[in-house]
């Protein structure tokens, strides 16, 4: 039955429009599927190659001798990555959040655009440049490679991520809340610390997690600054190992057993980064809901 003139047909769409609709739906699903292929492939491949290396020894032992490498582990890399990324986080997070607060709440004019420009330039700086910079500044000055230098090179990479992301989440906090707090007779800094930052809370945490995820996997700057170490090191002034560095080293050797350990290291890194990225995503979704 055809619709009478002047009324709107509410029946299902037919004919060419229907075909077009189906065509586009299929096309878009295919695109989404194609985008997922490389990610899934990498994940599956790394898991299949690396899962065999995961053992008690892998997580608890230092590397064994060349005769029986599979007896050893890379505990020194885990400890080292914790130390280096820890140092970087402790420095980059407060500085990054302070910069974000400045840009979102106070900054105007040249100073603010200057800081923002520096942050964006650093954000797209190749990580090996950050490594070379800290090598020249810290390693050469102190006379040796160290966890401290490694951490500082990661600060160069983490700071802009934290600064830019925290500026963005602070700007999402509605202006009405700032005015509400100011109208109660609260000073500006207290308005920021007690009302704006708690409201942005999870968003700020997301910024930190993204930065940590980035730092975890960096190899080049660590190579030039922390160097690596076959033993557990907890002295921030001494050369220190890191997981991505160990993966890089082992992947270049001809020893089959070490390749397997490298895959194991890659798997652990991938899992950690995925965990951080997914947590960040969940937190920021919750945050959106709360503000709205």
Partner 1 sequence: MRKVETVDLDAWFGSNHVLHDVSLTARPGSVTAIIGPSGCGKSTLIRCLNRMHEEVRGARVEGKVLFDGTDIYGTDVDPVAVRRRIGMVFQRPNPFPTMSILDNATAGLRLSGERIPRSKLTERGERALRAAGLWDEVKDRLDEPGGRLSGGQQQRLCIARALAVEPEVILLDEPASALDPASTLRIEELVGDLKERYTIVIVTHNMQQAARVSDWTLFMLFGEVVEFGPTEKVFTTPDDKRTEDYVTGRFG
Contact set with partner 1 (CB under 8 A): 108, 174, 176-187, 190, 194-195, 198-199, 201, 290-291
Alpha-carbon distance of 280 to 209, in angstroms, equals 6
Secondary structure (3-state) at 227: strand
- Nearest distance from C-beta of residue 178 to partner 1, angstroms: 8
Spell 231-265 as b/e; 16+ CB within 10 A means b. Answer: eebeebebbbbbbbbbbbbbeeeeeebbbbbbbbb
Spell 67-90 as b/e; 16+ CB within 10 A means b. Answer: eebbebbbbbbbbbbbbbbebbbe
Q: Which is nearer to partner 1, 231 or 286 (CB)?
A: 286
Q: Which is nearer to partner 1, 60 or 285 (CB)?
A: 285
Q: Token pair for residue 263?
A: 């895959």
Alpha-carbon distance of 166 to 172, in angstroms, equals 10
- Nearest distance from C-beta of residue 286 to partner 1, angstroms: 12
Alpha-carbon distance of 246 to 242, in angstroms, equals 6
Torsion of CA 160, 164, 166, 170, to 10 degrees: 160
Q: Which is nearer to partner 1, 146 or 166 (CB)?
A: 166
- Nearest distance from C-beta of residue 112 to partner 1, angstroms: 12
- Nearest distance from C-beta of residue 185 to partner 1, angstroms: 3
- Nearest distance from C-beta of residue 162 to partner 1, angstroms: 21
Residue with tokens 């945490």, as numbered in its chain: 205
CB 231 within 8 A of CB 62: yes
Q: Which is nearer to partner 1, 43 or 291 (CB)?
A: 291
Q: Which is nearer to partner 1, 68 or 175 (CB)?
A: 175
Half-sphere exposure for 121 (CA within 13 Å, toward CB): 7
List of long-range contacts for 141-144, beta carbons under 8 Å, 24+ apart = 142/237, 144/237, 144/238, 144/239
Q: Which is nearer to partner 1, 188 or 281 (CB)?
A: 188
Q: Which is nearer to partner 1, 177 or 273 (CB)?
A: 177
- Nearest distance from C-beta of residue 288 to partner 1, angstroms: 12
Q: Which is nearer to partner 1, 157 or 169 (CB)?
A: 169
């Amino acid at each position: 039955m055809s619709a009478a003139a002047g009324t709107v047909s509410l029946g299902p769409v037919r004919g060419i429009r229907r075909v077009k609709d189906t065509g586009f739906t299929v096309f878009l699903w295919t695109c989404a599927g194609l985008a997922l292929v490389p990610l899934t492939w990498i994940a599956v491949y790394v898991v299949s190659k690396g899962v065999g290396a995961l053992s008690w020894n892998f997580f608890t032992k230092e590397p064994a001798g060349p005769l029986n490498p599979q007896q050893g582990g890379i505990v020194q890399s885990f400890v080292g990555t914790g130390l280096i990324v820890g140092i970087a986080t402790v420095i980059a997070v407060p500085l990054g959040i302070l910069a974000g607060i400045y840009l979102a709440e106070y900054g105007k004019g040249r100073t603010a655009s200057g800081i923002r420009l520096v942050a964006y330039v650093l954000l797209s700086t190749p990580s090996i440049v950050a490594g070379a910079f800290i090598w020249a500044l810290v390693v050469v000055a102190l006379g040796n490679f160290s966890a401290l230098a490694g951490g500082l090179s990661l600060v160069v990479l983490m700071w802009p991520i934290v600064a830019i992301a925290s500026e963005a989440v602070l700007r999402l906090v509605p202006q009405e809340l700032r005015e509400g707090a100011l109208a109660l007779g609260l000073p500006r800094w207290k308005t920021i610390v007690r009302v704006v930052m708690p409201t942005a809370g999870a968003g700020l945490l997301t910024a930190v997690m993204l930065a940590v995820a980035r730092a975890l996997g960096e190899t080049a700057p660590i190579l030039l600054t922390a160097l690596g170490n076959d033993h557990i090191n907890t002295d921030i002034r001494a050369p220190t190992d890191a997981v991505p560095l160990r993966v890089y080293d082992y992947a270049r050797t001809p020893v089959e057993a070490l390749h397997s350990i490298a895959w194991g290291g890659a798997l652990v890194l991938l899992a950690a980064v995925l965990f951080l990225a997914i947590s960040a995503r969940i937190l920021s979704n919750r945050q959106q809901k709360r503000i709205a």
